Structure 1
């Protein structure tokens, strides 16, 4: 094997090791739920089928929020979504599900422009500020929780707690890999933003 080939092999192995380490760190962080009394539980949207039925992963996210609300550990639940490929407004379906589970409608904040995690965090921060809320708990799938938390914090929200949905599926492997890439982009951008703010 030539020197160039050996160097390339080591580089690929190192890259793979870094990727696996990052995936393990995201998984550990996402599954390490942190209980806290907060103003709002933020739940990002996911697939809602054309007949209005929630996907299992989205229902699992909302069930976490319901449990937290019933325990008296939050004042409100903020649902964030948009009209997906199925043609259904996720935020409306999420709100309706919460109401059916006994969460009062006036305790649900609805963001219908949560097209992605960045938009969800930005919109949640603005809605919370308007209502005098400061603290939030990030509730989503384990692989998504760390990025949601970071983005909420970047938009000025204090996030003392997190909770992951108790639902797992094969596609989580793909989703986790996507989160590794997303975090690799987010963290340097966040550090750069902080450096600029300090000047």
Structure 2
């Protein structure tokens, strides 16, 4: 009886030891994965911070959400302020505002144009792209415009953590000279946004490495519902 009891105790202890080793391995793996993610996010931000800011033929302002009244949200307004300064300093003679339609009366590109015109930018110096559903779509549309008008130098204006992926999209769209600038404003939300950029950048890099001409893929729930309603009429 004592031998049987001892054997069961050893077997139970072995299982406990194995469970502890497994839990330790899982914990270490999670820590390593989290550290790699943090390092990747930091590198993406550094790449954005270190982008060269130089005069360009055209500045592309990447869209962001509008307020309910159609005016730019604080993030978008900060990007537009950078573009406005560039325009006033005559470093960016043409402003290409690229965004999408977020809902009825919420056209990001038109909202950006109105904001810029209210501050003295001539309508003829603003190019509207309301088909910029995502970063890749904006890059495709802007580079097509550049080629059509003999432009070679583009300045990208967006948040610093978004610049690396935007630059990747423009370079793969064959923009010859790519520079960038960003708002000098930092928010607590930037930590989440930087973290989110890691998988977004990875997806872009993989897709555009496999196929430099990969088409933009996006899904806008509000636009989808609007189209359904219009088709039903």
- TM-score under structure 2 length normalisation: 0.77
Farther off after superposition, 105-114 or 3-12 = 3-12
Query: Which stretch shows the higher mean deviation, 55-64 or 173-182?
Result: 173-182
Task: Say which of 20, 44, 52 aligns to 1:26.
Answer: 44
Q: 2:179: which partner in 1? A: 161
Q: Deviations over 1:52-108 (max 9, x none)?
A: 221111011011111111112122110001111464101001011111222211111
- In the alignment, what sits opposite 2:166? 148
- Matched positions, count: 194
The match for 1:172 among 166, 190, 214 is: 190
Alignment RMSD, CA only?
1.7
Quick check: 1:40–1:137 contact (8 Å CA) kept in 2? yes
Unaligned runs of 5+ residues in structure 1 are 195-199
Structure 2 spans left out of the alignment, 5+ residues: 1-16, 213-233
Q: 1:33 deviation in Å?
A: 4.5
Task: Establish whether residue 76 from structure 1 lines up as the match of residue 118 from structure 2.
Answer: no
> Which protein shows a greater Rg?
2
Distance 1:146 1:33 in 2: 9
C-alpha change, 1:184 and 1:172, in structure 2 (3 Å) is same
Distance, in Å, in 2 between the alignment partners of 1:89 and 1:191 is 32
Q: Which runs of 4+ in 1 moved over 6 A?
A: none
Please say if residues 100 and 133 of structure 2, whose CA atoms lie closer than 8 Å, have aligned partners that are also in contact. Answer: yes
Partner in structure 1 of residue 207 of structure 2 = 189
Give 1:50 shift: 2.3
1:32 to partner: Cα distance:
2.6
Alignment of 1:3-18 (within 5 A): 3-18=21-36
Q: In structure 2, how many angstroms separate the alpha carbons of the residues matched to 1:182 and 1:21?
A: 15
> Greater shift after overlay, 7-16 or 121-130?
7-16
Q: Distance in 1 between matches of 2:193 and 2:177?
A: 23
Separation in 2, partners of 1:65, 1:21: 30
Structure 1 match to 2:156? 138
Counterpart secondary structure, 1:43? strand
Q: Which has the higher contact order (CA 8 A, sep 6+)?
A: 1
Structure 2 equivalent of residue 97 of structure 1: 115
Distance (whole Å) between structure 1 residues aligned to residue 25 and residue 104 of structure 2: 47
The TM-score with structure 1 as length reference comes to: 0.90
